Chains A and B, each alone.
Chain A
């Protein structure tokens, strides 16, 4: 049933437009007037402040012009010469009414500008300037090297102000200047009252001759005006609100004031608001009437177009509005249809492009999730890997799965790169995930891994083949087993003494099988090899050695040289070292093929702390920790261990080697830690007042040699905290000294500050004249910082310094040399990313031994 039209669309539209216009105008007027009012207020405040600052600045310049006249007197060799110059000043400068000088606190000289005085007073009678009528007493009382401006100090002179200046120890002068000098200030014409006050509460100069009705003493004694150099705020003078800006004239004890009554300031604003309101009503009325007249005719076409645009805005582009007539609405409708069609075409293109980009992005994200995120550290070995895709998706893949004491590592390389190769790696990853589940029930050997992978890839009937290498590490038996499907032969490196040489390189070349996907009947055989502490295995894809720059590949020779160079480090450090060499060869060139590099380092038995560790370790020489800094400090507070190493150190092996070296010596010597690769500098301090300047010097020498993870701000903070700590505890742990005081040490108890930097580390060391009571006390102090994160109430120091130092450093070394010596060393590792520095678990090393004082 069709309902009866009672209130046609046309009238509804007219009514709606009228209401809409009313609401819009009403809202707009209210909004605009409000903004206008706020803007006016901002203007009033800003103009007052600008005027006050401008008057202050110009007054300072004018007075300084006069002051500069007196500086000429300084070079005069005798009283006669001074007097001659005084006369010249009073003769040649019409604004100067008189000059007085007091030489050596004994000789009084004065000079008067007689012509000017006669002209002003309109009398032939001479005005006298002498010891009684002048400013002799004020000159005597004037402090050395000071300047003062005051009002009319010369009796009998017409309106003037006086500038008193102590030019040097033996010469003090007074200039009596006519107020004409300040007349240029009167060009600052505004409706605002502007005047200059002396600090003592006198009106020094009025700019626009308005009466000053307020008690100026109240102005100069206002706390805000006393504390702040310049500003503007609302004051209430005897119930009248006044907006008053003030600006101090530097060095002259004068304050420039600009003020206006609030009511007067906003009078124009109120009037404008009122008129705008009436004008708004008028506009609104006219708009409504005109709207009603035109709506009738336009309704139909506009309605059609409106409906079409509404549909488009809702995402429906399947609209075809038809407009009658040849007016603008008709043209607008045609233009709308044309625009809509173009948008539809463009959207289709964009949609397709976005779909492809988004799919590639998702594919990249999905593929990223196939790779292990963290290096693995086990108690006897660790491994880590990197992959660098040549395009959005990679044809390389590496991963691992665990079977009790055994870990199986897989490295694959599909032919080519990009999406097709990535799909094959996805299949390989999926196959390994299935094998991982199967391995919970049945043992999966390396050859079984390759056979299963081969079957999966053959079943895809793709033209893309894949090479793969599977390595199984048996932690219990110290053996490896491997199986190869035509992948680049990995290298096994044996350590000879403390070195890795070419003679110790053993390529894993046993039993090489066919590529995966070549034929279903391929058979893969395993080879077993014994592993020793210090051995390294390097697995890689050919993208690394075949990367060509200017027609020259990096090659096996350079690669081998690079891994031998980095082999002293643990897996992660070794990878970083090799990639650093590779990047040097690559420069900024794009990769030609995907790159995968996986390193395994065998280290012997170690204790590893992580979320699953339940026991607090005791008795070990060191532990490696994956826990947070706060948890590590908690462990240290309950354990006897003195060395805890963060698992993500830049070079685990180096840190362990240095720790062993330091422990093996009876005397601690920082030189054992710092080799010749470091740029270094040290300072000896006997006063804590020198801390800041020495840290400044450190900044200028070392700031240019840091990394994204090591900021100069952190080095300064750590240096400041360690140095302050060394001074405040210089009397021993029990004796604390009030902060802020100077602490002066005898030369035999000086504090030594040392900073060193090389491409990988920055070392900050502070050696002080007192040691630490115990490791337990030190650790509990840091633990308090972590637990409470606030300064200690009522303490001399803040009690947070060591916690902040520990949280910033990569390695925190404490050497307790007994009652007479203590040394703290913070090592910062130069990661290339800030984030890596923040993720670094801080290593803690505590040594109780004699400290070398050389």
Chain B
């Protein structure tokens, strides 16, 4: 957790791909990506380990600065989805969560799995059917569907 937030940006034309790593808290500094005049931002949250309450506030402020650009979130970890469901403002109207991790459970192997889902795979809060890599058995979705997928309605 001692890792501070690091931001790696790669731009291609009018699109910025921003990979975030570490924790988003009150010390998070988005100055470098505030002034980029891009039509589209793709944020990769795969390596974000935590967002605390102050981090959420900082992120919401940052979203104000890039208002008007198309925004896409990719690879959102389970901990981020939990925060997003708890606190509003992280996903604004127009923001698309393209992919995110969801908890599944294999009853045969007695193990929890984190499966990367695409937004399009979830219809009416129904999780897609997934299979265990080890025993090939069908996995059970291991969260309360309506609660876990409630963030999908926030950007619409």
Contacts and interface: CB of A to CB of B under 8 A. Distances in A.
Interface of A: 45, 49, 223-224, 227-234, 692-693, 695-696, 699, 708, 711, 713-714, 716-717, 720-721, 724, 739-740, 789-791, 797-801, 803-804, 807, 832-835, 838-839
B60 A835 contact: no
B128 to A, nearest CB: 17
Contacts of B57: 791, 798, 800
A718 to B, nearest CB: 10
Interface in B12-55: 12-14, 25-27, 32-33, 35-36, 49-50, 52-54
Contact of B35 (A223, A716, A807, A833): A223
Contacts of A800: 53, 56-57, 87
B8 to A, nearest CB: 7
3 smallest CB-CB distances across A and B, nearest first, come from A713-B79, A798-B53, A231-B11
Q: Looking at B27, B50, B87, which has the most chain A CB atoms within 10 Å of its CB? A: B87
Given A791-B57, A834-B105, A232 B11 contact: yes
Given A227-B35, A708-B112, A233 B14 contact: yes
Given A708-B112, A834-B105, A797 B11 contact: no
B70 interface: no
Contacts of B32: 227-228
A236 B145 CA distance: 50
Q: Looking at A692, A713, A804, which has the most chain B CB atoms within 10 Å of its CB? A: A713
A803 B52 CA distance: 12
26 contacts: A45-B13, A223-B35, A227-B33, A228-B11, A228-B32, A229-B8, A231-B11, A231-B12, A233-B12, A233-B13, A693-B2, A699-B1, A708-B105, A711-B79, A713-B77, A714-B82, A716-B49, A716-B50, A724-B52, A724-B54, A739-B54, A798-B54, A804-B52, A834-B103, A834-B105, A835-B105
B50 A229 contact: no
B50 A797 contact: no
Contacts of B27: 740
Contacts of B77: 713
B98 interface: no
Interface in B66-106: 77-79, 82-83, 86-89, 103, 105
B144 A839 contact: yes
A720 B13 contact: no
A739 B28 CA distance: 12
Contacts of A693: 2
B142 interface: yes
Contacts of B12: 45, 49, 231-233
Contacts of B35: 223, 227
Given A692-B2, A708-B112, A739-B26, A798 B105 contact: no
A232 B13 contact: yes
B58 to A, nearest CB: 9
A699 B3 CA distance: 13
B103 to A, nearest CB: 5
A835 B142 contact: yes
A771 to B, nearest CB: 21
Contacts of B88: 789-790
Contacts of A720: 1, 25, 50, 52
B122 interface: no
B contact face: mostly helix, strand, loop, or mixed: mixed
B86 A835 contact: no
Nearest to B49: A713
B52 A717 contact: yes
Nearest to B51: A717
Contacts of A790: 60, 87-89
Contacts of A230: 10
Given A231-B9, A713-B49, A789-B87, 20 more contacts: A229-B8, A696-B2, A708-B105, A713-B50, A713-B79, A716-B1, A724-B52, A739-B26, A789-B86, A790-B88, A791-B60, A797-B54, A798-B54, A801-B52, A803-B86, A804-B87, A833-B112, A834-B112, A835-B105, A835-B142
A714 B54 CA distance: 16
Contacts of A804: 52-53, 83, 86-87
B50 A708 contact: no
Nearest to B83: A804
A721 B87 CA distance: 15
Nearest to B147: A838
Contact of A233 (B2, B11, B56, B78): B11
B144 to A, nearest CB: 6
A696 B147 contact: no
A836 B103 CA distance: 12
A721 to B, nearest CB: 6
Contact of B142 (A724, A797, A833): A833
A531 B94 CA distance: 62
Nearest to B32: A227
B147 A791 contact: no
A424 B86 CA distance: 47
A838 B32 CA distance: 37
A357 to B, nearest CB: 13
B51 to A, nearest CB: 8
A838 B87 contact: no
Nearest to A583: B110
Contacts of B86: 789, 803-804, 807
Contacts of A231: 9-12
Contacts of B49: 713, 716
Interface in B110-137: 110, 112
B108 to A, nearest CB: 9
Contacts of A839: 144
Contacts of B8: 229
Nearest to A232: B12
A834 B25 contact: no
Contacts of A799: 53
Q: Looking at B54, B57, B147, which has the most chain A CB atoms within 10 Å of its CB? A: B54
Contacts of A692: 1-2
A835 B127 CA distance: 14
